[in-house]
């Protein structure tokens, strides 16, 4: 990999990885090692979370295409080996979150991918990117289940901050780019089409009424969590990546102190 060309994004936005694509490989030992390394790195390199979760699905059905995609993540990391999370000393206690989902994203199971990320002012403090455990029949339902997961995370953040004796920070703003999901949350009317997500509806509506969370709309282009649910073109990837504030530890500005 030392002579390999660097990549601008962790995954090719036009690739559609599935279990059946490519030629089956006889051994997956090296691939498992690489996935283990990516798992470790994803704890501080949030922008590779989607790539890691996608590639980890092929441990038992490895093909040459999956291995090539894994090597691309390494080529991306090669372009920025010193990048990591930045926590400002001047951060206030304002927490904001972003919730997003990609409906029917998995070509093998058609289950959607859920993501959220939360910031303490400008510092990324928690994020998630994973495949939902059920198939949803509409994008609105997939978005709403993501909103429910984000609500639970916001409640957990409140508990943690309370344990640390920080002053109350409620409500936590959660931005969602699905108007339908926001409408369901604002109008807690349950009917046949939303029956199987009723528990999710209740937790989101209840926490909104308790002012634990405050749901706000956001434009698709401004959605920070988009980087956690799909492979993006370089322009969109860089736009989301800048919101994560992952900085180069060797940068001169960082040594002087970044606000």
CA 50 from chain center: how many Å? Answer: 7
Q: Are 97 and 118 in contact (CB under 8 A)?
A: yes
**Res 256: pLDDT:** 55
What is the C-alpha to C-alpha distance for residues 130 and 227, in angstroms, rounded to an integer?
A: 12
Contact of 77 with 46, CB cutoff 8 Å: no
Closest to 84 measured CA to CA, from 257, 256, 246:
246
Residue 187 is predicted with a pLDDT of 78
Over the stretch 130-161, which tens digit does the pLDDT of each residue have?
988 888 888 888 888 899 999 999 999 999 99
Domain-located, residue 205: yes
85 pLDDT exceeds 90?
Answer: no
pLDDT value at position 140?
Answer: 84
Instruction: Report yes or no on 153 lying in a domain.
Output: yes
Same-domain pairing of 161 and 212: yes
Number of structural domains the chain divides into: 2
User: What pLDDT was estimated at residue 9?
Assistant: 94
State residue 121's pLDDT score: 84
Q: Is 252 contained in some domain?
A: no
Would you say residue 112 has pLDDT above 80?
A: yes
Residue 223 zone, left/alpha/beta (φ > 0; ψ -120 to 50; rest): beta
Task: Indicate if 6 and 69 belong to the same structural domain.
Answer: yes
């Amino acid at each position: 990999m030392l002579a390999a060309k660097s990549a601008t994004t962790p995954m090719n936005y036009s690739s559609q990885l599935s279990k059946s694509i490519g030629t089956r490989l006889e051994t997956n030992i090296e691939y498992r090692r690489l996935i283990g390394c990516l798992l470790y790195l994803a704890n501080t390199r949030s922008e590779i979370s989607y790539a890691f979760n996608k590639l980890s699905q092929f441990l038992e059905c490895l093909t040459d295409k999956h291995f090539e995609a894994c090597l691309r993540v390494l080529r991306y990391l090669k372009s920025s080996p010193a990048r990591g999370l930045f926590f400002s000393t001047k951060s206030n206690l304002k927490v904001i979150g972003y919730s997003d989902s990609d409906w029917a994203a998995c070509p093998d199971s058609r289950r959607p991918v859920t993501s959220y990320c939360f910031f303490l002012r400008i510092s990324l403090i928690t994020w998630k990117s994973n495949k939902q455990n059920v198939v949803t029949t509409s994008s609105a339902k997939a978005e709403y289940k993501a909103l429910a997961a984000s609500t639970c995370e916001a409640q957990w953040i409140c508990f943690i901050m309370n344990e640390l004796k920080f002053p109350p920070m409620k409500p936590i703003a959660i931005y969602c780019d699905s108007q339908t999901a926001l409408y369901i949350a604002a109008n807690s009317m349950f009917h046949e089409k939303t029956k199987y997500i009723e528990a999710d509806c209740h937790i989101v509506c209840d926490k909104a009424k308790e002012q634990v969370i405050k749901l706000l709309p956001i434009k698709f282009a401004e959605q920070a969590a988009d980087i956690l649910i799909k492979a993006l073109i370089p322009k969109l990837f860089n736009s989301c990546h800048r919101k994560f504030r992952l900085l180069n530890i060797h940068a001169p500005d960082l040594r002087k102190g970044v606000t």
